A and B are shown apart, each in its own frame.
Chain A
Amino acid sequence: AQKITQTQPGMFVQEKEAVTLDCTYDTSDQSYGLFWYKQPSSGEMIFLIYQGSYDEQNATEGRYSLNFQKARKSANLVISASQLGDSAMYFCAMREVYTSGTYKYIFGTGTRLKVLA
């Protein structure tokens, strides 16, 4: 079973509008972390936002917010006021326990976002 599922391979959004990128996860751990990364066409992976499993508030970082619904095991990324520079591939990732004292990061397959002028 997929641990991280991103069901939207590609999305379009109009400039200045908000967009939600979906991510669902599967883990039996109580303590885990959820991350979003952006990968522009240049290839680098840019950290955007982090949500801990025990955090009660949704994480926010500037125009990025993470809509965390623990019971539904979803961690959707919301980008407000989209900009042309937001066009990129977006990856959802989860950190869970690997063995005692070690952790592993699992990445989804990504969503390619295109912002239209």
Chain B
Amino acid sequence: DSGVTQTPKHLITATGQRVTLRCSPRSGDLSVYWYQQSLDQGLQFLIQYYNGEERAKGNILERFSAQQFPDLHSELNLSSLELGDSALYFCASSPTPGGGTDTQYFGPGTRLTVL
């Protein structure tokens, strides 16, 4: 158990809908990262937050957004869902903004299925 929690574990929804994925980082970690893992794209970095502020942005679609709240939990919002958004979404956390020996620890993931 990495200490990172994600809810829900599974989510099934229809095209065009909007969903929210939730992540709680390990105790003491200030950075939260979101990743998408799909069969054809592998593990793709979406976005990073550090202590409530957006820190780095990767391959995140405009239909997706995220935020980190004062208690450091984070939410990833996915809207206007398409079939291709079906994937495993991971949250990871680390103590610092990155660099040095900073290491990411992953949550169990949320499996999103868009029908």
Task: Tell whether A112 is near chain B: CB-to-CB under 8 Å.
Answer: no
- Residues of B contacting A52 in the complex (Cβ-Cβ under 8 angstroms): 100-101
Residues in A24-57 with C-beta less than 8 Å from chain B: 31, 33, 35, 37, 43-47, 50, 52
- Residues of B contacting A85 in the complex (Cβ-Cβ under 8 angstroms): none
Looking at the complex, which of B67-75, B76-84, B103-111 is the stretch in contact with chain A? B103-111
Tell me the bound Cα distance from A39 to B64 in angstroms: 25
Tell me the bound Cα distance from A107 to B97 in angstroms: 18
Of B48, B90, B107, B108, the residue contacting A102 (CB under 8 A) is B48
Number of interface residues of A (CB under 8 A): 25
What is the interface of chain B, defined by CB distance below 8 A to chain A? 2, 33, 42-43, 45, 48, 55-56, 58, 88, 90, 92, 97-109, 111
